[in-house]
Amino acid sequence: MSNKTNQQWGGRFSEPTDAFVARFTASVEFDQRMYLQDIQGSIAHAKMLTAAGVLTDAERDDIIRGLGEIRVEIERGTFEWSIALEDVHMNIEAALTQKIGITGKKLHTGRSRNDQVATDIRLYVRTEIDRILAEISRLQQGMLSLAEREVDTIMPGFTHLQTAQPVTFGHHVMAWFEMLSRDYERFVDCRKRVNIMPLGAAALAGTTYPIDRNMTCELLSFSAPAGNSLDAVSDRDFAIEFCAASSILLMHMSRMSEELVLWASAQFDFINLPDRFCTGSSIMPQKKNPDVPELVRGKSGRVYGHLMSLLTLMKSQPLAYNKDNQEDKEPLFDTIDTVNGCLRAFADMVPALESRKDSMRNAAMRGFATATDLADYLVRKGVAFRDAHEIVGKSVAFGIAEGRDLSEMTLVELQQFSAEIDADVFEVLTLEGSVAARDHIGGTAPNQVRAAVVRGHELLATRGDVA
């Protein structure tokens, strides 16, 4: 076929497609990953055409057998893909016709590449969303294990990257868990709009054949057929929404990565990343680089770019299908690959994190982390909060000058700032007392973190996608 236009559609053309144009417009090099979805869609279409009287039972069986053989060849790596046939759909159809003869040419009755590719992409994205959901749950399972181990490990909580109040490492990890729970819900919701079937819309206006779209919908486990043929073949909202959900997920993972990179540094020394998730330096033998979180942090920009690419791709397209839409696949596929890779790396790494408990505790001691506890103590003694705020500010200034934390001052030193301070103040100035006092749902008290972990396990148990 090297000297001919694609014979699947070339009847109207008087000269062959330019060789460069053939390569330039072909998508088979990247859309062949949808071979399974294309075969599944074709089998469902063949069954529906048989029920509609367009194909005989024997023709249907020949098509299903031929497609099964093609699937085996693809999975064995013996199938020959041709750029001249442009895409995965044409390659499979041409191979089917070669195997079973003229019956293979009947398969395309009542459909177009426009609704075929739209159906394949949705089937593919639906499968990948299910994989991503399972991997998010696996990562969250690892977070629950880590949080449970670190429920009593005290560390500084930060605002503006300055020591604010003491929290527990387990509480911090459960904050990550909450981020991912929202991500999970976004992908579940996105899946609902992915799971609409374009097949039957044909090129843009539907078909004159007596098709049964509800039958095809049921065979392919879609929730409903698309309600408008023009929209069905041209809609890529689901791909944009998928990339948007992926961007938010990667934003969350980038935030986690930033913390891991900081905490693994000698300056923080809060955690140890196992060697298998790090690399060394070609020149500095002492280096242990946190490459996994750094790379995940970097890949967030890659996914953001794909979201902008798809938004830009669609912004000026008139109805219905346009060749522009061939450009939806590479950013979409790379987003899927990137998200899966990042989730796998984190799901393997997070449960293996090791805390440096002494470093975390010492850091919490250095930043007057219990200053708010002293203010709350004074309020409970009847001091107005704004006055208490000023008293504690002066106490902190004294501590800075003396190089001592509030808990290291004597009672006499503290009483020079307020006569309301008694010996019981030291119960609230300890790090343990501070975290234990936040004893409400969502608080950092160890028993509240344990309760949050229990709720997390219950949540994952309802999903059914965690082994």
Which tens digits make up the pLDDT trace of 82-114?
A: 999 999 999 999 999 999 999 999 999 999 999
Whether 62 shows a pLDDT value over 50: the answer reads: yes
CA 406 to chain CA centroid, Å, is: 43
- Residue that terminates a domain, selected from 339, 361, 383: 361
Q: Which residue has the tokens 């698309």?
A: 226
Which residue out of 221, 223, 265, 281 is catalytically annotated? Answer: 281
Q: What pLDDT, on the 0 to 100 scale, is given for residue 3?
A: 41
CATH, residue 454: 1.10.40.30
Q: Which helix (H) or strand (E) holds 63?
A: helix 57-76
Residue 2 lies in a domain: no
The SS3 of residue 248 is helix
CB 170 within 8 A of CB 152: yes
Examine the domain organization and report whether 418 and 451 are in the same domain. Answer: yes
Query: Rg for the chain (alpha carbons), in Å?
Result: 30
pLDDT digits (tens, 9 = 90+) for 157-168: 999 999 999 999
Give the C-alpha separation, 342 to 327, whole Å.
Answer: 24
Q: What is the pLDDT of residue 463?
A: 93
When divided into structural domains, the chain yields a total of: 3
Same domain, 105 and 135: no
Is residue 343 domain-shared with residue 254, that is, in the same domain?
A: yes
Tokens, residue 107: 């398969």
pLDDT level of residue 465 (50, 70, 90 thresholds): low
One domain, residues 150 and 217: yes
Give the CATH number for residue 327. 1.20.200.10
Relative to beta strand 224-225, strand 196-197 is parallel
pLDDT digits (tens, 9 = 90+) for 357-371: 999 999 998 888 899
> The dihedral of CA 269, 274, 278, 284: what is its sign?
positive
Q: What's the farthest any 2 CA atoms get from each other in the chain? A: 100
pLDDT > 90: percent of the chain: 88
Tell whether omega for the bond before 320 is within 30 degrees of 0, i.e. cis: yes
- Pairing status of strand 354-355 against strand 271-272: antiparallel
Phi, psi of 6 (to 5 degrees): -45, 120
**Residue 7 pLDDT more than 70?**
no
**Do residues 424 and 418 touch, judged by C-beta distance below 8 A?**
no
Residue of 2, 14, 160, 316 marked active site: 160
Burial degree of 323 (CB within 10 A; 0-12, 13-18, 19+): exposed
Residue 281 bears catalytic tag: yes
- Within this chain, do residues 96 and 159 fall inside the same structural domain, yes or no? no
pLDDT at 49: 98
Has residue 5 been placed in a domain?
no
Structural domain ending residue among the three candidates 303, 332, 361: 361
pLDDT for position 9: 47
Judgement on whether residues 42 and 187 belong to the same structural domain of the protein: no
Residue 23 is predicted with a pLDDT of 77
pLDDT 10s digits, 249-294: 999 999 999 999 999 999 999 999 998 988 887 788 787 899 999 9
Is 160 a residue of the active site?
yes
Residue 466 has pLDDT above 70, yes or no: no
Write out pLDDT tens, residues 310-349: 999 999 999 999 999 999 999 999 999 999 999 999 999 9
Nearest to 46 by CA among 199, 198, 196: 199
Picking from 55, 77, 109, the residue at the C-terminal end of a domain is 109
Query: Looking at 72-76, 97-101, 242-246, 285-289, which range is the least confident one?
Result: 285-289
* Distance between CA atoms of residues 326 and 321, nearest Å: 10
Helix or strand holding residue 97 (H, E): helix 88-100
| 132 and 236 part of one domain | yes
Q: What is residue 8's predicted lDDT score, i.e. its pLDDT?
A: 59
Q: Which residues pair with 457 in a beta bridge?
A: none
CA distances from 456 to 251, 352, 393 (A): 22, 19, 38
Picking from 317, 304, 334, 325, the residue whose alpha carbon sits closest to that of residue 120 is 325
CA distances in angstroms from 78 to 51, 75, 81, listed in the order given: 33, 8, 9
For residues 70 and 99, the answer to whether their CB atoms sit within 8 Å is yes
Q: What are phi and psi of 286, to 5 degrees?
A: -85, -10
Looking at residues 226-238, what average pLDDT do you find? Answer: 98
Spell out a b/e string for 65-97, using b for 16 or more CB atoms within 10 Å of the CB, else e.
Answer: ebbeebbeebeeeebebebbbbbbbbbbbbbbb
403-410 long-range Cβ contacts below 8 angstroms, 24+ apart: 405/365, 405/366, 405/368, 405/370, 406/368, 406/370, 406/371, 406/374, 407/365, 407/370, 407/431
Structure tokens at 337: 């690959």
pLDDT number for residue 284: 82
Across 4-13, 182-191, 415-424, least confident range: 4-13
Q: Is the pLDDT of residue 4 over 60?
A: no
**What residues does 156 pair with on adjacent strands?**
166
Residue 261 lies in a domain: yes
Global pTM reads 0.92
Residue 51, sorted as left (phi over 0), alpha (psi -120 to 50) or beta, turns out to be alpha
pLDDT of residue 401 exceeding 80, the answer is yes
The neighbouring-strand residues paired with 289 are 279
Q: Which domain holds residue 19?
A: 10-109
Whether residues 95 and 135 fall in one domain = no
Residues 87, 82: Cα–Cα separation, whole Å: 8
Residue type (1 letter), 395: S
